[in-house]
Structure 1
Amino acid sequence: MIRFDDVVKKFDDNIVLRDLSFSVRPGEFVSLIGPSGSGKTTILRLLMTLERINGGTIQVGDEYLSHMDRGGKLVPADERHLRQVRKRIGMVFQQFNLFPNMKVLQNITEAPMRVLGKSRDEAERRGKELLDMVGLSDKVDEHPSRLSGGQQQRVAIARALAMEPEILLLDEVTSALDPELVAGVLAVLREIASTTDITFLCVTHEMQFARDVSDRVMMFDAGQIVEDAAPDKLFTDPDEERTKAFLHAVIDREAS
């Protein structure tokens, strides 16, 4: 469902991703861990076409994302092609990015009506189903400012699901939350992952969550994959010294 082949991303002279290649199967939940600045969030931004690659190719399903076929040759994708492929992808950001002037249900229904062409009745019916799924069926008519951070993030998750994505990208979705609110958001994501066939790519610092929900975990450092393994293997018996050092540092920080 996701394929990176020799992807390079640079910001001026700083190479953030260096000949990066990996793939994610349909329905798989893959978590990306590693130190800040290792390139994890850049991967998500490339998939959302918020950044352009400097080399290599990215595929989403059977389509190229960053390129398109023209006369049998791959050429850089135009905006129309990017929009078409991007419809297959949803993202939940660190910050909730809800529209403050819209009520909760409006936040969820606006894009399906405008982008997917849903009728208001259809969009609202699905929006209420999703709010029920994330435990907020009683917040339909509230404004985001009247919700806790955890509730706002659950609305953001419902909003992403309303676009019917094949792929859902999660970027440190609990990092802006108070510790007591984290568990509710992670519980919602566990439920979605276990009951849908959505493909997940998740950047997270929540090691226990990554271990519980992931099919695979990829350890990143300096724009490259250091280790790629099943969570039980990576968290209990990693092969690489860099992975061991990172996990020890995280565990020590959590313990303190």
Structure 2
Amino acid sequence: MPSPAEFAKSTSRANGSELVRFEKVTKRYGDVTVLDELDFSVSTGKHVTLIGPSGSGKTTILRLLMTLVRPDEGTIRVDGDYLTHEERGGRLIKAGEKHVREVRKKIGMVFQQFNLFPNMRVLRNVMEAPVHVLGLPKDEAEQRARELIELVGLTEHLDKYPTQLSGGQQQRVAIARALAMRPQVLLLDEVTSALDPELVQGVLDVLRDIAHSTDITMLVVTHEMSFARDISDAVLMFDKGKIVESGPPDKIFSEPEHQRTRDFLSTVL
């Protein structure tokens, strides 16, 4: 089996440099403010987990990074580049779609739902985007896809359609598909929430292996607190669109300072 570290080589940057930066980002839906002048950053090679109650704004952060929604105020940078803005004549303007697509190539996401192409076998699901988005030659994309399918433990299933796989297997294909784009940052949005309980551990084990064996940057939303504690460099506790507390996992889970954090953890641990 190839080393997981091979799949982070082309995405590596100097660890500790800033990769993602939110500056005064506000997002509203009608009269509801989901994110309220949010400031935070993620450094290259770090794994940052967002925790907090439903509706606290965690998933909105990932959706903003994928440009599924746009901020109402503030800016987002990825590897120094503005995501939804461009600099023209010394001022910021709304970015064109070409600019957004180029910056978004640096980001990969695994969703709650697997979102696999139902008419494509596993191998093609994983190699499709590198061919059509990155322009990778088909033979190179296929080799990359086969290695990643092996990494997630599904070599014997590469000729199957998604409907022939369990939910856990489909999610592992989705992880391989995201990694096939060689993103600089991998977003994980409650990736086990749609799985039957007995399938959760296999997916978490794959993600632990990737987290511990590669230098890929991760931004994670999860209710799996033991997983968060195991893989995170930092944990951010969200409530009502704001960060109420942040720190290393041992501190957040063992000695939280904020009462809201203590209340939340008492319901999930």
**Which of the five TM-score ranges fits, normalised by the shorter chain?**
over 0.9
1:172 is the counterpart of 2:181: no
Task: Output the CA distance in 2 between the equivalents of 1:234 and 1:66.
Answer: 32
Residue identity matched to 2:142:
E
Secondary structure of residue in 1 paired with 2:74:
strand
For residue 65 of structure 2, the aligned residue among 47, 51, 55 is 47
CA distance in 2, matches of 1:158, 1:27: 19
Report which stretch shifted further, 191-200 or 88-97: 191-200
3-state SS of 1:56 partner: strand
The answer to whether residue 149 in structure 2 is matched with residue 137 in structure 1 is no
Matches for 1:99-138 after TM superposition, within 5 Å = 99-138=117-156
* Alignment partner, residue 6 of structure 1: 24
Deviation, 1:120, is: 1.1
Instruction: Please point out which of 45, 53, 63 is paired with 1:27.
Output: 45
213-222 or 190-199: bigger deviation: 190-199
Provide the identity percentage. Answer: 64
- Partners of 2:200 and 2:31 lie apart in 1 by 37
- Aligned-pair CA distance for 1:85: 0.2
- The CA deviation string for residues 6-25 of structure 1, in whole angstroms up to 9 with x for no partner, is 10001111111001000000
Corresponding pairs, count:
251
1:62 to 70, 80, 84: 80
Structure 1 residue 72: Cα displacement: 1.4
The answer for the alignment partner of 2:210 in structure 1 is: 192
Unmatched runs of 5 consecutive residues or more in structure 2: 1-18
What amino acid does structure 1 have at the position aligned with 2:221? Answer: V
TM-score normalised over the length of structure 2: 0.92
Return structure 1 stretches of 4+ with deviation > 4 angstroms: none
Instruction: For 1:165, give the aligned amino acid.
Output: P
Q: Does 1:234 align with 2:252?
A: yes
1:118 and 1:67 map into 2 onto residues whose CA distance is 28
Deviation at 1:198, TM superposition (A): 1.2
Describe the SS at the equivalent of 1:192.
helix
Displacement of 1:144:
0.5
- TM-score between both structures, scaled by the size of structure 1: 0.97
Unaligned runs of 5+ in 1: 252-256
Matches within 5 A, 1:77-96: 77-96=95-114
The one-character-per-residue Cα deviations of 1:163-198 (angstroms, maximum 9, x if unpaired) are: 110010000000000111111101111111122221
Equivalent position amino acid for 1:138 in 2: E
Q: Per-residue displacement from partner, 1:104-128 (whole Å, max 9, x unpaired)?
A: 0010011100011111111111100
Amino acid at match of 1:206: E
1-side partners of 2:173 and 2:65: how far apart? 22
SS in 1 for 2:266: helix
How many Å apart are 1:212 and its aligned residue?
A: 0.5
